Structure 1
Amino acid sequence: MSTESTTGTEDKAVVVTPDAAEEAISLLEGESMDTDVAGLRLFVQQGGCAGLSYGMRFDNEPEDDDTVVERHGLRVFVDPASLNYISGAKLDYEGGLQGAGFHVENPNATSSCGCGESFRT
């Protein structure tokens, strides 16, 4: 398996805030997923008004070519194509009555739509 673990390095992978890790781990556990193996997949897909959008889902394990980022007890899986777009991005979670959810701050985005859900590089 050629899965790359980037534990301890933040320069070329995804930064995960403690709040994002805590929320994702809670959701994983709520789905009865083993957090030692399972993780959050962060990916980029075509779509949105700016051309590209972020996607997230839980996976039981990484794919062979994924980069695996381990931060604050959370495993994040990123495929090679998506990593080209989101390398160095920060995954955060904000709670509250309005706008609660995961947010990606991407230094590679040259523009984004008004709602912040899609971007262009």
Structure 2
Amino acid sequence: MSTTAESGGDGAPVTVTEEAASQAINLLESEGLDTDIAGLRLFVQQGGCAGLSYGMRFDDEPEGDDTITEHHGLRVFVDPSSLKYIEGSELDYENGLQAAGFHVENPNVEAECGCGESFRT
């Protein structure tokens, strides 16, 4: 059974900045996906020097047990096992001199590796 939280405001399991949502929607559309149904899957997987790492991919539709939120027109899918590690996080898009890309600001992190790609809670 899925859980849906509309608008992604305070109290949402995960929030997304307007810039991150815009970048993700542009990528979804360039892949030919319907943004009314498809969305960005944010998940946690084993790996990295600190033990866990973030993953993102586009899915055509949510799974039955996903938590689904919508932020600035972007649907975000999070599975139950990942949610316990990333609840309260914010997804942002950074565009700097050395790199551009999505970044997760996670309040649950106790330690992370130097590159910022993996973490421990």
TM-score (norm 2): 0.95
2:27 aligned partner:
27
Query: How many residues get paired?
Result: 120
Aligned-partner Cα distance in 2 for 1:120–1:106: 11
1:92 aligned partner:
92
2:4 aligned partner:
5
Once the two structures are overlaid, the 10-residue window that deviates more, 34-43 or 92-101, is: 92-101
Aligned-partner Cα distance in 2 for 1:32–1:96: 28
1:50 aligned partner:
50
TM-score (norm 1): 0.95
Percent identity, aligned pairs only, is 68
1:106 aligned partner:
106
Give runs of ≥4 in structure 1 deviating > 2 Å.
Answer: none
Gaps of 5+ in 1: none
CA RMSD of aligned residues (A): 1.0
Gaps of 5+ in 2: none
Aligned-partner Cα distance in 2 for 1:80–1:32: 27
